Amino acid sequence: MAKGTLQFADLVAFIMYFSYFSSSITGISQTISSIQESITGETRLQELEREVTSIEVSPRNGATQKIIVPPQINFKEISFHYPDCRSNALNNISFSIPAGKITAIVGSSGGGKTTCLGMLERFYEPQSGSITINGEEISNLNLSTYRNYVSYVDQNSVLATGTIRDNLDLGDVSYSDQEMMTALRQVGLTELARTSRRSLLDEPVGEQGLSLSGGQKQRLSIARALLHHPSLLVMDEPTSSLDGLSEQKIIDLLTTHKNELTLCYTAHRLSTILKADWIVVIDHGKVLAEGEHKQLMKSCDYYKALITSQVDKYKTISN
Ligand SMILES: Nc1ncnc2c1ncn2[C@@H]1O[C@H](COP(=O)(O)OP(=O)(O)OP(=O)(O)O)[C@@H](O)[C@H]1O
Ligand SMILES: [Mg+2]
Protein backbone atom coordinates (compact mmCIF):
# COMPACT_ATOMS: atom_id res chain seq x y z
CA MET A 1 0.00 0.00 0.00
CA ALA A 2 2.85 2.32 0.87
CA LYS A 3 4.19 1.65 -2.65
CA GLY A 4 0.84 2.59 -4.14
CA THR A 5 0.13 -0.87 -5.53
CA LEU A 6 -2.68 -1.73 -3.13
CA GLN A 7 -5.81 0.40 -2.85
CA PHE A 8 -7.34 1.11 0.54
CA ALA A 9 -10.61 -0.62 -0.47
CA ASP A 10 -8.67 -3.75 -1.46
CA LEU A 11 -6.82 -3.73 1.83
CA VAL A 12 -10.11 -3.30 3.67
CA ALA A 13 -11.63 -6.21 1.77
CA PHE A 14 -8.64 -8.43 2.42
CA ILE A 15 -8.62 -7.71 6.13
CA MET A 16 -12.37 -8.06 6.37
CA TYR A 17 -12.42 -11.47 4.70
CA PHE A 18 -9.34 -12.62 6.55
CA SER A 19 -10.82 -11.69 9.88
CA TYR A 20 -14.16 -13.26 9.06
CA PHE A 21 -12.66 -16.47 7.80
CA SER A 22 -10.01 -16.83 10.45
CA SER A 23 -12.22 -16.59 13.48
CA SER A 24 -15.65 -17.88 14.19
CA ILE A 25 -18.25 -15.47 15.43
CA THR A 26 -20.47 -18.27 16.65
CA GLY A 27 -19.06 -18.44 20.15
CA ILE A 28 -19.54 -14.72 20.71
CA SER A 29 -23.09 -14.62 19.35
CA GLN A 30 -24.02 -17.69 21.42
CA THR A 31 -22.56 -16.00 24.50
CA ILE A 32 -24.51 -12.84 23.73
CA SER A 33 -27.79 -14.67 23.24
CA SER A 34 -27.37 -16.81 26.36
CA ILE A 35 -26.58 -13.71 28.42
CA GLN A 36 -29.56 -11.96 26.83
CA GLU A 37 -31.77 -14.89 27.82
CA SER A 38 -30.56 -14.80 31.40
CA ILE A 39 -31.01 -11.05 31.55
CA THR A 40 -34.51 -11.19 30.16
CA GLY A 41 -35.30 -13.77 32.87
CA GLU A 42 -34.66 -11.16 35.56
CA THR A 43 -37.82 -9.19 36.10
CA ARG A 44 -35.99 -6.33 37.80
CA LEU A 45 -33.82 -5.83 34.78
CA GLN A 46 -36.83 -5.87 32.47
CA GLU A 47 -37.44 -2.36 33.65
CA LEU A 48 -34.25 -1.24 32.00
CA GLU A 49 -34.93 0.96 29.03
CA ARG A 50 -32.27 -0.70 26.95
CA GLU A 51 -31.23 -4.29 27.07
CA VAL A 52 -27.66 -4.38 28.31
CA THR A 53 -25.56 -7.48 27.84
CA SER A 54 -21.90 -8.14 28.18
CA ILE A 55 -19.30 -10.21 26.45
CA GLU A 56 -15.75 -10.92 27.48
CA VAL A 57 -12.93 -9.44 25.50
CA SER A 58 -9.32 -10.48 26.03
CA PRO A 59 -6.95 -7.55 25.89
CA ARG A 60 -3.31 -7.93 24.79
CA ASN A 61 -2.06 -8.37 28.35
CA GLY A 62 -4.12 -11.54 28.72
CA ALA A 63 -6.49 -10.18 31.37
CA THR A 64 -10.18 -10.13 30.57
CA GLN A 65 -12.72 -7.45 31.15
CA LYS A 66 -16.34 -6.89 30.42
CA ILE A 67 -17.46 -4.88 27.44
CA ILE A 68 -21.00 -3.62 27.69
CA VAL A 69 -23.01 -3.97 24.53
CA PRO A 70 -24.28 -1.98 22.74
CA PRO A 71 -21.05 -0.05 23.22
CA GLN A 72 -20.37 3.68 23.56
CA ILE A 73 -17.40 4.85 21.48
CA ASN A 74 -15.28 7.96 21.97
CA PHE A 75 -12.66 9.42 19.65
CA LYS A 76 -10.25 11.56 21.66
CA GLU A 77 -7.80 13.94 19.99
CA ILE A 78 -7.13 11.57 17.08
CA SER A 79 -4.61 12.62 14.45
CA PHE A 80 -3.79 10.41 11.53
CA HIS A 81 -1.92 10.59 8.25
CA TYR A 82 -1.73 7.85 5.65
CA PRO A 83 1.69 6.29 5.02
CA ASP A 84 3.79 8.52 2.74
CA CYS A 85 1.33 11.39 3.10
CA ARG A 86 2.57 14.67 4.47
CA SER A 87 -0.77 16.12 5.48
CA ASN A 88 -3.06 14.69 8.11
CA ALA A 89 -6.31 13.05 7.01
CA LEU A 90 -7.58 13.59 10.57
CA ASN A 91 -6.49 16.54 12.70
CA ASN A 92 -6.90 16.20 16.44
CA ILE A 93 -10.52 15.10 16.24
CA SER A 94 -12.76 14.21 19.15
CA PHE A 95 -16.35 13.01 19.01
CA SER A 96 -18.67 10.42 20.48
CA ILE A 97 -20.79 7.60 19.09
CA PRO A 98 -23.57 6.95 21.60
CA ALA A 99 -24.53 3.41 22.64
CA GLY A 100 -27.53 1.81 20.97
CA LYS A 101 -28.16 4.73 18.65
CA ILE A 102 -27.63 5.54 14.97
CA THR A 103 -24.74 7.93 14.40
CA ALA A 104 -24.19 9.48 10.96
CA ILE A 105 -20.81 10.95 10.01
CA VAL A 106 -21.45 13.60 7.38
CA GLY A 107 -19.45 16.22 5.52
CA SER A 108 -17.60 17.05 2.36
CA SER A 109 -16.03 14.48 0.06
CA GLY A 110 -12.45 13.81 1.16
CA GLY A 111 -13.23 15.25 4.60
CA GLY A 112 -12.13 12.13 6.51
CA LYS A 113 -15.32 10.11 7.06
CA THR A 114 -14.08 6.79 5.68
CA THR A 115 -10.79 7.31 7.49
CA CYS A 116 -12.70 7.59 10.80
CA LEU A 117 -14.45 4.29 10.09
CA GLY A 118 -11.09 2.73 9.21
CA MET A 119 -9.79 3.80 12.63
CA LEU A 120 -12.85 2.32 14.29
CA GLU A 121 -12.42 -0.97 12.45
CA ARG A 122 -8.70 -0.83 13.34
CA PHE A 123 -7.42 -1.02 9.78
CA TYR A 124 -4.98 1.69 10.87
CA GLU A 125 -3.66 2.92 14.22
CA PRO A 126 -3.83 6.68 14.83
CA GLN A 127 -0.48 8.48 15.24
CA SER A 128 -1.88 10.23 18.29
CA GLY A 129 -4.99 10.20 20.44
CA SER A 130 -7.16 7.32 21.52
CA ILE A 131 -10.42 5.59 20.69
CA THR A 132 -12.27 4.06 23.60
CA ILE A 133 -15.11 1.60 23.72
CA ASN A 134 -16.97 1.88 27.01
CA GLY A 135 -13.95 3.68 28.38
CA GLU A 136 -11.42 0.99 27.35
CA GLU A 137 -8.86 1.86 24.68
CA ILE A 138 -9.57 -0.30 21.62
CA SER A 139 -5.84 -0.67 21.00
CA ASN A 140 -5.67 -2.70 24.24
CA LEU A 141 -8.24 -5.19 23.04
CA ASN A 142 -7.38 -8.40 21.24
CA LEU A 143 -7.85 -7.58 17.55
CA SER A 144 -9.55 -10.74 16.37
CA THR A 145 -11.92 -10.77 19.34
CA TYR A 146 -12.71 -7.12 18.73
CA ARG A 147 -13.44 -7.83 15.08
CA ASN A 148 -15.80 -10.63 16.09
CA TYR A 149 -18.28 -8.16 17.38
CA VAL A 150 -17.79 -5.43 14.83
CA SER A 151 -19.32 -5.76 11.35
CA TYR A 152 -18.09 -3.48 8.62
CA VAL A 153 -19.94 -2.70 5.41
CA ASP A 154 -17.47 -1.32 2.92
CA GLN A 155 -18.17 1.67 0.65
CA ASN A 156 -17.62 -0.60 -2.38
CA SER A 157 -19.57 -3.63 -1.05
CA VAL A 158 -16.78 -6.05 -1.88
CA LEU A 159 -18.04 -9.59 -2.55
CA ALA A 160 -16.29 -12.91 -2.96
CA THR A 161 -16.58 -14.99 -6.12
CA GLY A 162 -19.02 -17.80 -5.29
CA THR A 163 -22.64 -18.10 -4.26
CA ILE A 164 -24.93 -15.99 -2.13
CA ARG A 165 -24.44 -18.55 0.64
CA ASP A 166 -20.64 -18.19 0.43
CA ASN A 167 -21.00 -14.44 0.78
CA LEU A 168 -23.38 -14.69 3.71
CA ASP A 169 -21.78 -17.32 5.90
CA LEU A 170 -18.15 -16.65 4.89
CA GLY A 171 -17.29 -20.26 5.55
CA ASP A 172 -19.01 -20.49 8.94
CA VAL A 173 -21.32 -23.48 8.50
CA SER A 174 -23.21 -22.84 11.73
CA TYR A 175 -25.78 -20.57 10.06
CA SER A 176 -28.96 -22.37 9.04
CA ASP A 177 -30.51 -21.86 5.60
CA GLN A 178 -33.51 -20.37 7.38
CA GLU A 179 -31.38 -17.74 9.14
CA MET A 180 -29.73 -16.80 5.87
CA MET A 181 -33.04 -16.65 4.00
CA THR A 182 -34.47 -14.40 6.73
CA ALA A 183 -31.50 -12.05 6.33
CA LEU A 184 -32.06 -11.95 2.55
CA ARG A 185 -35.77 -11.28 2.96
CA GLN A 186 -35.08 -8.47 5.41
CA VAL A 187 -33.01 -6.63 2.86
CA GLY A 188 -35.46 -7.46 0.06
CA LEU A 189 -33.08 -9.63 -1.93
CA THR A 190 -35.43 -12.44 -2.88
CA GLU A 191 -35.57 -11.15 -6.46
CA LEU A 192 -32.22 -12.85 -6.99
CA ALA A 193 -33.88 -16.29 -7.26
CA ARG A 194 -33.39 -16.59 -11.01
CA THR A 195 -34.30 -20.23 -11.51
CA SER A 196 -36.42 -22.77 -9.67
CA ARG A 197 -33.72 -25.39 -10.24
CA ARG A 198 -31.59 -24.22 -7.33
CA SER A 199 -32.05 -22.50 -4.03
CA LEU A 200 -31.58 -18.75 -3.83
CA LEU A 201 -28.66 -19.38 -1.48
CA ASP A 202 -26.86 -21.38 -4.16
CA GLU A 203 -27.26 -18.67 -6.79
CA PRO A 204 -23.82 -17.64 -8.11
CA VAL A 205 -22.90 -13.97 -7.79
CA GLY A 206 -20.27 -13.99 -10.55
CA GLU A 207 -16.68 -12.96 -10.19
CA GLN A 208 -16.47 -10.71 -7.12
CA GLY A 209 -20.23 -10.19 -7.36
CA LEU A 210 -20.11 -8.86 -10.92
CA SER A 211 -23.47 -10.37 -11.83
CA LEU A 212 -25.22 -8.30 -9.16
CA SER A 213 -26.20 -4.66 -9.42
CA GLY A 214 -24.55 -2.12 -7.11
CA GLY A 215 -27.67 -1.93 -4.94
CA GLN A 216 -27.96 -5.72 -4.75
CA LYS A 217 -24.33 -5.93 -3.66
CA GLN A 218 -24.99 -3.35 -0.99
CA ARG A 219 -28.03 -5.20 0.28
CA LEU A 220 -26.15 -8.51 0.33
CA SER A 221 -23.32 -6.87 2.33
CA ILE A 222 -25.87 -5.50 4.81
CA ALA A 223 -27.57 -8.92 5.11
CA ARG A 224 -24.16 -10.48 5.83
CA ALA A 225 -23.37 -7.86 8.45
CA LEU A 226 -26.69 -8.33 10.27
CA LEU A 227 -26.49 -12.13 10.10
CA HIS A 228 -23.32 -11.98 12.19
CA HIS A 229 -25.17 -10.17 15.02
CA PRO A 230 -22.57 -7.47 15.63
CA SER A 231 -22.57 -5.25 18.71
CA LEU A 232 -21.11 -2.47 16.61
CA LEU A 233 -22.13 -2.04 12.99
CA VAL A 234 -19.98 0.30 10.93
CA MET A 235 -21.17 1.16 7.42
CA ASP A 236 -19.63 3.36 4.77
CA GLU A 237 -22.41 4.94 2.70
CA PRO A 238 -24.53 1.80 3.02
CA THR A 239 -27.40 2.94 0.81
CA SER A 240 -25.61 5.04 -1.81
CA SER A 241 -26.58 2.70 -4.70
CA LEU A 242 -30.15 2.11 -3.59
CA ASP A 243 -33.34 3.63 -4.95
CA GLY A 244 -35.36 5.74 -2.50
CA LEU A 245 -37.80 2.98 -1.54
CA SER A 246 -35.13 0.31 -0.99
CA GLU A 247 -33.13 2.82 1.01
CA GLN A 248 -36.15 3.53 3.22
CA LYS A 249 -36.62 -0.20 3.80
CA ILE A 250 -33.00 -0.71 4.78
CA ILE A 251 -32.92 2.27 7.11
CA ASP A 252 -36.16 1.09 8.76
CA LEU A 253 -34.59 -2.34 9.17
CA LEU A 254 -31.48 -0.88 10.78
CA THR A 255 -33.66 1.21 13.07
CA THR A 256 -35.35 -1.94 14.40
CA HIS A 257 -31.92 -3.23 15.48
CA LYS A 258 -30.95 -0.01 17.21
CA ASN A 259 -31.21 -1.05 20.84
CA GLU A 260 -29.20 -4.24 20.34
CA LEU A 261 -26.29 -2.58 18.61
CA THR A 262 -24.46 0.66 18.12
CA LEU A 263 -24.65 1.78 14.52
CA CYS A 264 -22.38 4.25 12.81
CA TYR A 265 -22.57 5.09 9.12
CA THR A 266 -21.30 7.74 6.78
CA ALA A 267 -23.92 9.40 4.63
CA HIS A 268 -24.32 12.06 1.97
CA ARG A 269 -28.05 11.67 1.33
CA LEU A 270 -30.51 13.75 3.29
CA SER A 271 -32.92 10.84 3.84
CA THR A 272 -30.19 8.76 5.48
CA ILE A 273 -28.77 11.63 7.50
CA LEU A 274 -32.17 12.49 8.95
CA LYS A 275 -32.66 8.93 10.24
CA ALA A 276 -29.68 9.28 12.55
CA ASP A 277 -30.07 10.09 16.25
CA TRP A 278 -26.63 11.67 16.44
CA ILE A 279 -24.69 13.44 13.70
CA VAL A 280 -20.97 14.18 13.50
CA VAL A 281 -19.96 16.86 10.98
CA ILE A 282 -16.47 16.46 9.50
CA ASP A 283 -14.69 18.72 7.04
CA HIS A 284 -11.02 18.78 6.01
CA GLY A 285 -10.08 16.29 8.71
CA LYS A 286 -11.68 18.29 11.51
CA VAL A 287 -14.86 17.81 13.50
CA LEU A 288 -16.95 20.93 13.06
CA ALA A 289 -19.80 19.89 15.32
CA GLU A 290 -21.75 16.97 16.71
CA GLY A 291 -25.30 16.70 17.97
CA GLU A 292 -28.89 16.11 16.97
CA HIS A 293 -30.20 17.39 13.64
CA LYS A 294 -32.35 20.18 15.10
CA GLN A 295 -29.58 21.45 17.32
CA LEU A 296 -27.02 21.38 14.47
CA MET A 297 -29.34 23.31 12.17
CA LYS A 298 -29.11 26.14 14.69
CA SER A 299 -25.52 25.83 15.79
CA CYS A 300 -23.52 24.72 12.73
CA ASP A 301 -23.62 26.87 9.59
CA TYR A 302 -21.76 24.27 7.54
CA TYR A 303 -24.29 21.56 8.47
CA LYS A 304 -27.19 23.87 7.75
CA ALA A 305 -25.74 24.64 4.31
CA LEU A 306 -25.21 20.92 3.65
CA ILE A 307 -28.84 20.14 4.47
CA THR A 308 -30.31 23.22 2.81
CA SER A 309 -28.53 22.48 -0.47
CA GLN A 310 -30.30 19.12 -0.64
CA VAL A 311 -33.67 20.51 0.41
CA ASP A 312 -33.36 23.16 -2.32
CA LYS A 313 -32.54 20.44 -4.83
CA TYR A 314 -35.73 18.51 -3.93
CA LYS A 315 -37.78 21.70 -4.12
CA THR A 316 -36.45 22.44 -7.62
CA ILE A 317 -37.31 18.91 -8.76
CA SER A 318 -40.83 18.95 -7.34
CA ASN A 319 -41.71 22.38 -8.79
N1 LIG B 1 -5.28 5.16 1.17
C2 LIG B 1 -5.06 6.44 1.20
N3 LIG B 1 -3.79 6.93 1.03
C4 LIG B 1 -3.54 8.26 1.08
N5 LIG B 1 -4.49 9.19 1.29
C6 LIG B 1 -5.76 8.76 1.45
C7 LIG B 1 -6.10 7.38 1.41
N8 LIG B 1 -7.43 7.26 1.60
C9 LIG B 1 -7.90 8.51 1.76
N10 LIG B 1 -6.90 9.41 1.67
C11 LIG B 1 -7.01 10.87 1.83
O12 LIG B 1 -7.50 11.12 3.14
C13 LIG B 1 -8.46 12.17 3.11
C14 LIG B 1 -9.77 11.67 3.70
O15 LIG B 1 -10.29 10.67 2.85
P16 LIG B 1 -11.60 9.86 3.19
O17 LIG B 1 -11.67 8.70 2.28
O18 LIG B 1 -11.63 9.58 4.64
O19 LIG B 1 -12.74 10.96 2.84
P20 LIG B 1 -14.33 10.80 2.90
O21 LIG B 1 -14.82 11.88 3.81
O22 LIG B 1 -14.71 9.41 3.21
O23 LIG B 1 -14.75 11.20 1.42
P24 LIG B 1 -15.97 10.63 0.51
O25 LIG B 1 -17.22 11.34 0.99
O26 LIG B 1 -15.60 11.08 -0.86
O27 LIG B 1 -16.04 9.15 0.62
C28 LIG B 1 -8.58 12.61 1.67
O29 LIG B 1 -7.77 13.76 1.49
C30 LIG B 1 -8.03 11.45 0.88
O31 LIG B 1 -7.43 11.88 -0.31
MG1 LIG C 1 -15.64 7.92 2.11
Q: 70-90, pLDDT tens digit by residue?
A: 999 999 999 999 998 889 999
pLDDT over 60 at 21, yes or no? no
Identify the nearest ligand to the CA of 105 by its number. 1
Per-residue pLDDT, averaged over 173-181, amounts to 91
Q: pLDDT tens-digit profile of 182-215?
A: 999 999 888 776 666 678 899 899 888 888 988 8
Query: Nearest C-alpha to atom 24 of ligand 1 is from which residue?
Result: 109
Q: Write the single-letter amino acid at 72.
A: Q
Q: Is 82 in the pocket of ligand 1 (CB under 6 A)?
A: yes
What pLDDT is stored for residue 222 in this prediction? 94
pTM over 0.75: yes
Say how far apart CA 34 and CA 30 lie, in whole Å. 6
How confident is the model over 252-261, as a mean pLDDT? 89
What pLDDT is recorded for position 234? 95
Per-residue pLDDT at 32 = 42
59 or 209, greater pLDDT:
209
Confidence at 282, pLDDT banded by 50, 70, 90: very high
Which of 10, 80, 114, 234 best tests ligand 1's pocket when mutated (most atoms within 8 Å of CB)?
Answer: 114
Distance 126 CA to ligand 1 centre (A): 15
Structural domains in the chain, sorted by start: 8-318 (3.40.50.300)
Q: List the residue whose alpha carbon is closest to atom 3 of ligand 1.
A: 82
What mean pLDDT is predicted for residues 243-267? 90
pLDDT at 45 over 50: no
